[in-house]
Amino acid sequence: MKLRIITSNPGKAVEFRHALGGLGFDIEHGDEDCDEIQADTLQEVVLSCLSQLRGRGLGDYALDDSGLFIDALDGFPGVYSSYALRTIGIDGILRLLDGREDRSARFECCIGCSFRGEELTVQGKCEGTIAHRPSGTGGFGFDPIFVPSGYDGTFAEMSIDVKNGISHRGRAIQALSAALKEKV
């Protein structure tokens, strides 16, 4: 069975392949165009993309939207995480937190999937803190500054197995895996 992962980020496709390959899915990376709407929630963005892609003959596919929500910044960058990464980057986020004691944050992920003509959404979350400086070379995005609760290192310092077991996307993929098992 093929499942196309719609993303412009090859790192996400790798995480999906690693997590869902054991279910017998042949994971393909698809870079279909989808206009990300400006919305208040990740789920609104995902539902909009599912709607835009419907009817394009893509077969079975999944896509996600993820965000880093920092408490001291009232949830910023949140749904604007990819934009914030492109514009101010990791250093900009660290500057915004300079001198702040509260460094609590969470990553959230919403996955939308079209499978055998049905659409579903699942979510995952990972609580943690923002490090004072980047560390690690793995992962992508804000991984070098996010330290998940209960761990000493950042996502960028973890193996993909460890990260997928605890990350927001890993948890959402686990929920997707459980939902797809019921449909296979």
Where exactly are the structural domains of the chain? 2-183
Q: Provide the pLDDT confidence category of residue 21 given band limits of 50, 70 and 90.
A: confident
Q: What are phi and psi of 19, to 5 degrees?
A: -85, -35
What pLDDT score does 14 carry?
84
Q: What is the pLDDT of residues 108-148, one digit of tens each?
A: 999 999 999 899 999 999 999 999 999 999 988 999 999 99
What is the average pLDDT across 44-62?
A: 92
22 against 107, higher pLDDT: 107
Inform me whether the pLDDT recorded for 23 exceeds 80: no
Please give the single-letter amino acid code of residue 30. G
Inform me whether the pLDDT recorded for 25 exceeds 90: no
Q: In CATH terms, is domain 2-183 a member of 3.90.950.10?
A: yes
Q: Which of 65, 71, 102, 143 is catalytic?
A: 65
Q: What are phi and psi of 62, to 5 degrees?
A: -140, 150
81 against 10, higher pLDDT: 81
Angle of the 10-20 helix axis to the 168-183 helix axis, nearest 10: 50
- Residue pair 3/25 in contact (Cβ under 8 Å)? The answer is yes
- For residues 89 and 44, what is the distance between their CA atoms, to the nearest angstrom? 24
- What's the longest Cα–Cα distance across the chain? 51
Q: Is 60 tagged catalytic?
A: no
